[in-house]
């Protein structure tokens, strides 16, 4: 009987570990292709991502015709458009990117998220005087998107008004819409915030995150580094990206993870192959 109880306890422990396995969907930023022969060929992009093992792609809100071609190409490869890149401008007459009103209905119930970078021409980054205006705009956008099962995520971005993940989380709480959350972007965090506080900031943000992006990067005085050191293929650079994934795993993050590829010099098939090989190594270690 004692041996049986020990066996049951071990089995339950293993079952619990298995239930907590970490295997998020992994998608690619569309900027992976922006400096290559793939740039204007969404079919070729989707085929390459499928071949390498990605779950999908991010795309920019374009013209209706461009959007239709991109969505069709991704669907043909049984991939998913995880994120749509769009702009919110606090002072503009039309604060919300007008293309979203055409695009969002096409995303109905596809599990897509529109991540928005938020600009202001008259306010300095993180200036709290923009909060009330921003909240009103985001509530309007979230309510419109919710009718189609589309989510909105706030993307902190260097050079914009919204630059910090903590601010994105605070706005998420104030907007108070079920389909609106925040984004943690590793390269922008390293550029703008204190790497020593990353674990603390990310842990606080996880309950509100709809998406995370990662990439290879260098460690050290990251605030002083240029983008060629802060955005590298996954596995390159001295920064411990695996630690970021461990923090997400420990805090039971459930969303997708994107691969930032801005301004990489290698050919897409080369740097994406490197990044996917590293991703698989990370998943093996974490599970």
Residue 18 has a pLDDT of 47
Is pLDDT above 50 for 31? yes
Fold held by 24-286: TIM Barrel (3.20.20)
Residue 157 has pLDDT above 90, yes or no: yes
DSSP of 141-165, one letter per residue? HHHHHHTTT-EEEE---TTSS---H
pLDDT digits (tens, 9 = 90+) for 164-220: 999 999 999 999 999 999 999 999 999 999 999 999 999 999 999 999 999 999 999
In angstroms, the CA 224 to CA 108 distance is: 42
Angle formed at CA 32 by CA 275 and CA 253, multiple of 5 degrees: 55
Give the model confidence (pLDDT) of 202-218 as tens digits. Answer: 999 999 999 999 999 99
Is residue 20 scored above 80 in pLDDT?
no
User: How sure is the predictor about 1, in pLDDT bands with cuts at 50, 70 and 90?
Assistant: low
pLDDT at position 35: 87
pLDDT of residue 15: 44
Alpha carbon separation from 211 to 6, 84, 225, 233 (Å, rounded): 40, 12, 24, 19
pLDDT tens column, 242-265: 999 999 999 999 999 999 999 999
The separation between the first and the last C-alpha atoms of the chain, rounded to the nearest angstrom, is 32
Q: Which of 151, 244, 137 is nearest to 190 (CA)?
A: 244
Task: Assess whether pLDDT exceeds 60 at residue 17.
Answer: no
| Dihedral, CA of residue 57, residue 107, residue 95 and residue 158, to nearest 10 | -20
* Domain spans, the chain: 24-286
Q: Residue 87: is its pLDDT beyond 50? A: yes
The closest of 246, 219, 245, 215 to 232, measured between CA atoms, is 215
* Digit-coded pLDDT (tens) for 108-154: 999 999 999 999 999 999 999 999 999 999 999 999 999 999 999 99
pLDDT 10s digits, 37-65: 999 999 999 999 999 999 999 999 999 99
Average pLDDT score, the chain = 94
Residue in the block written with tokens 């603390």: 200
Provide the pLDDT for residue 215: 98
């Amino acid at each position: 009987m004692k041996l049986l109880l020990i066996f049951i306890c071990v089995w339950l422990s293993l079952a619990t570990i298995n239930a907590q396995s970490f295997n998020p969907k992994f998608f690619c930023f569309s900027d992976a292709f922006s400096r290559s022969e793939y740039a204007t060929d969404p079919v070729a992009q989707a085929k390459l991502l499928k071949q390498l093992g990605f779950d999908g792609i991010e795309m920019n809100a374009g013209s209706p015709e461009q959007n239709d071609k991109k969505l069709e190409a991704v669907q043909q490869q049984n991939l998913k458009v995880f994120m749509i890149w769009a702009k919110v401008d606090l002072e503009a007459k039309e604060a919300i990117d007008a293309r979203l009103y055409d695009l969002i209905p096409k995303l109905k119930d596809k599990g897509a998220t529109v991540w928005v970078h938020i600009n202001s021409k008259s306010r300095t980054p993180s200036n709290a005087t923009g909060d009330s205006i921003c909240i009103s705009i985001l509530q309007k956008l979230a309510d419109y998107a919710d009718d189609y099962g589309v989510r909105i995520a706030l993307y902190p971005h260097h050079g914009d008004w919204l630059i910090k993940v903590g601010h994105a989380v605070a706005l998420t709480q104030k907007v108070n819409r079920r389909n609106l959350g925040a984004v943690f972007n590793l390269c922008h965090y390293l550029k703008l915030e204190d790497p020593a506080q990353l674990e603390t900031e990310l842990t606080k943000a996880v309950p509100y995150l709809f998406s995370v992006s990662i990439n290879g990067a260098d460690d050290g005085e990251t605030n002083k580094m240029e983008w060629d050191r802060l955005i590298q293929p996954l596995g390159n650079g001295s920064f411990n990206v695996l630690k970021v994934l461990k923090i997400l795993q420990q805090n039971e993050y459930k969303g997708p993870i994107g691969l930032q590829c801005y301004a990489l010099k290698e050919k897409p098939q080369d740097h994406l192959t490197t990044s996917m090989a590293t991703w698989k190594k990370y998943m093996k270690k974490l599970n």
